[in-house]
Amino acid sequence: MMRGRVKRLAQMDAAEIRWRVRTGGRAMMDRVTTGLITPTWKREHLRRSLVALPELSAAREALARFDWRTAHTELARYLSSQPQRFVLGPGSKSRVVNSILGAFPGSASHAVAGADRILDGRYDLLGYRGLRFAPAGPAIGSGSRRVDWHFDPVNQRRAPRVAWPSVRFLDPSCGDHKIIWELNRHQHWLTLGRAFWLTGEQKYRDRCVIELLDWLDANPPLLGINWASMLELAFRTLSWTWAISLFAGDERDARQDDGAPWLVDLLLALDLQLTHIENHLSSYFSPNTHLLGEALALYVCGTAVPALTASARRVETGRRILLAEVSRQIGSDGGHLERSTHYHRYVLDFYLLALIVARINRDPAAAEFERAVSRLASAARLLADDRGRVPHIGDDDGGMLTPITGRPPDDLRDSLAIAATLLERPELSIGGVPEEACWLLAHETFEQVDATPAPAASARVPSGALEETGYYISRSAAADHLVIDGGPHGYQNGGHAHADALSLTFSVHGLPLFIDPGTGCYTSDAGLRDRFRSTALHNTVTVDGRPSSVTNGPFHWSQVANSRVLRWQTSAAFDYFDGEHDGYRPITHRRRILAFHGDLLIVADTVDGSGTHETAIHWHIDPAWSAHVQGRRTTLRRDGHDISLTVPEGTVEAFTADRDSGLGWHSPAYGRVEPATTLRVVRRGPLPVSIVTVIGLNPRNEVRDVSRMPAPAAADGRPAAALLTIRRASSIDYLLLAGGSTAGTDTLPPVTRIGDLETDARMLFYRLSSGRSVSRLAFVDGSIVRSTSGRGLRLEMPAAIPHYFSDFNLASRKAGRRTDPQAGDHNTCVA
């Protein structure tokens, strides 16, 4: 351990060393100070934090004489009279309410249902529903009980009230810090604010004020778990900024006794929390979404609340970091380098809010924020299926930046709609504009959002790749959506990565079929954490039961797989992927995928090396599908859809909620673990070993059997190709996948025969229909396809072409005559 620390120190530059010395010294000082002096809030300190403006003179004078109620009233008057610098403001209330109620008639009742649960002390957080944080204790306010802000009600544990640097929040003895922090983000105040604006019911505003005062009483400066993460302070200060806009502008503030000078308290605590963030930015500790979220809070809160003397400095700091991190954290393909779909959504929302605030305040940085949003949104639209949902690739902590209406975190329609409006790129939007977009785009700077459903897009999103991030996406007109993970293992220490090299997810007709089982938890259960990150819980291959990457604690890895993509080819009819990784080194796992849109998905996995090993492939099925296993064939059914999964060798095993193997589970949201079905195929024997899975998508031509054909041997004695016969209801399909060392090079494989054809292509697929004529032909990277009889089909090019496809039956119908390729009709090559 000491050797590792010395090595890490040697890698630090002078700037990092200065940062660590400075932040470490401040943390030590905070630890000593809170141990010697009982931390308390001092309202009089707000006076020195307020800008010396004439408009604030009355508030400052009231603070100087300890007249808190007058100070509160004057602050409310000042905040209500200022130009709107944030998303919402007092002047926009009636316009926003009328617009939302007109466009979404059920929004008020929906808002009330969520807000009333909070009034009842039931909180829906992460994957949990109805959590209660009110153990026995004194009541606060009318009909309300005290909230225990340090309590984890799921694991019945409480974090210690010690100086923030001493809180070991990753230790399960503190409880699950995610649950505690999620409540303390105060994002449920947006739920209360929505209900307050849409109904005018004072009780929702009162609840927010009560919680604010209770939180301040339970969380004095720098004491406890709620001061330990700068990102959590960032989320909370953003929620408080929303609260100012939602509640401080109420016209009754200036006339009615609120029971406490809560604006004085809020601004005082807001200022101190933002200072704490400034002093402990995650510049080197977690320079990922943590740093972005902290910078966003400084930029947005500083812009929205210029009454604080430090606001200008915070705006500059936040802006500088947000701009600098664009090139560091966002790939050239627009993907976030954390390589988690959930965290990609976080970053998109961060820059959306930054762009909105920048445009409202005419900040020149808006142009750069716009470019970042454009790249992030383009990648998000590719990753999302046609319902707006993204698969749960990598960690999913269940959190969101602006959970106004309770939309699931994996539903990106609101974020994409906001991006589409801001960028004037309607192709990013999916369906109508959601209610969330109307709240975020409420400022008069933006044109009135049209909340009516958008017409169907004239052009669907095509297949594509985020090559730097490492995601390869195959899409079809039938709303099939395949996402393949062929990229690097996470970002920096891979804290939010899973051992999912070459894994895939697949939706059929917009319905998830092969799913990533999710995250489960972070620190409360180490075994569960590692299980949901393991290779066996992803749609890929394990060797001898090992994971392709090895964990080392909840957010680190001792060994990671290195993936490389050998080939990616898209076309109107099919997409083809070829990649490999070294996670089982010296053994190599190679995966080739052929997706014929709306017809077939073929996944061929080869494990190459030496010795005898156990190779297994796992398929995790969305629980909405039923699985009926019969030997080598499995039928999957859902809502009238029948999908078949067939393997040429072995037997398919099915697991549902199996505690011994850990298979047959999924985590649809952080903290929830529910039964699902896992299919597993195992082959034991000397390497190389191949497992082929054929998924039939067309019930009109169902797959009935899959078998291998004898393959010629290469010079080293290993098979030179994988040859497959797929017998179907009305056709026979043949697939050739070339092997050997030519993958990823310009050298074509030797000519190989499959059935009645021979080719030098790396991949060849053809179909024999009635009369045993070739009705469909496709290949990748080839120059020759010809009949072995010397008659009939013959395609020869002077050089290899990237891909070719022809549907001879379709060509015949269009031409109005019968075309028989076996009889000698030639077709034009398509490169």
Please count the other Cβ atoms lying within 10 Å of the Cβ belonging to residue 526: 14
Q: Which of 291-305, 718-732, 740-754 has the lowest mean pLDDT?
A: 740-754
Closest CA to 463 of 349, 309, 573, 352: 573
**Taking 50 as the threshold, does the pLDDT of residue 107 lie above it?**
yes
Specify the pLDDT at position 127: 92
What contacts 819, CB < 8 A, 6 or more positions away?
A: 808, 811, 812, 825
Structure tokens at 683: 């082959």
670-692 pLDDT, tens digit per residue, is 999 999 999 999 999 999 999 99
743-778 pLDDT, tens digit per residue, is 556 677 888 888 889 999 999 999 998 767 888 999
Instruction: Report how far residue 639's alpha carbon sits from residue 617's, in angstroms, rounded to the nearest whole number.
Output: 26
26-58 pLDDT, tens digit per residue, is 878 877 787 778 889 999 999 999 999 999 999
Instruction: Report how far residue 757's alpha carbon sits from residue 762's, in angstroms, rounded to the nearest whole number.
Output: 14
Class of domain 42-282: mainly alpha
385-431 pLDDT, tens digit per residue, is 999 999 999 999 899 999 999 999 999 999 999 999 999 999 999 98
What contacts 504, CB < 8 A, 6 or more positions away?
A: 482, 483, 484, 485, 514, 539, 540, 593, 603
* Proportion of the chain above pLDDT 90, given as a percent: 74
According to CATH, what is the number of the domain 465-708? 2.70.98.70
Confidence of residue 5 (pLDDT cuts 50, 70, 90): low
What contacts 360, CB < 8 A, 6 or more positions away?
A: 84, 85, 86, 87, 443, 445
Stretch 427-445: mean pLDDT: 92
Instruction: Report how far residue 623's alpha carbon sits from residue 644's, in angstroms, rounded to the nearest whole number.
Output: 16
211-235 pLDDT, tens digit per residue, is 999 999 999 999 999 999 999 999 9
pTM above 0.85, yes or no: yes
Residue with token string 């730097």: 468
Specify the pLDDT at position 810: 60
Residues in the chain: 831
Specify the pLDDT at position 287: 82
Tell me if 524 sits within 8 A of 604, measured CB to CB.
no
450-467 pLDDT, tens digit per residue, is 555 455 444 579 999 999
Stretch 308-335: mean pLDDT: 96
**Taking 90 as the threshold, does the pLDDT of residue 742 lie above it?**
no
Instruction: Report how far residue 602's alpha carbon sits from residue 725's, in angstroms, rounded to the nearest whole number.
Output: 12
What contacts 54, CB < 8 A, 6 or more positions away?
A: none
Structure tokens at 393: 């690739």
Sign of CA dihedral 648, 650, 651, 653: negative
Report the run of H or E that residue 215 belongs to, with start and end: helix 202-218
628-687 pLDDT, tens digit per residue, is 999 999 999 998 899 999 999 988 999 999 999 999 999 999 999 999 999 999 999 999
Specify the pLDDT at position 25: 82
573-584 pLDDT, tens digit per residue, is 999 999 999 999
**Average predicted confidence (pLDDT) for the chain:** 89
Buried b (16+ CB within 10 A) or exposed e, 85-112: bbbbbbbbbeebbebbeebbeebbebbb
Stretch 465-482: mean pLDDT: 94
Residue with token string 């099939």: 480
Confidence of residue 253 (pLDDT cuts 50, 70, 90): very low
Specify the pLDDT at position 739: 80
Stretch 74-78: mean pLDDT: 94
Stretch 47-71: mean pLDDT: 94
Helices (H), 82-201: 93-103, 107-119, 177-184, 188-199
Give Cα 750 distance to the centre of its chain.
43
Confidence of residue 818 (pLDDT cuts 50, 70, 90): very low
Domain ranges of the chain: 42-282, 330-461, 465-708, 710-831
Higher-pLDDT residue of 251 and 274 is 274
Q: What angle do CA 590, 546, 492 make, to 5 degrees?
A: 75
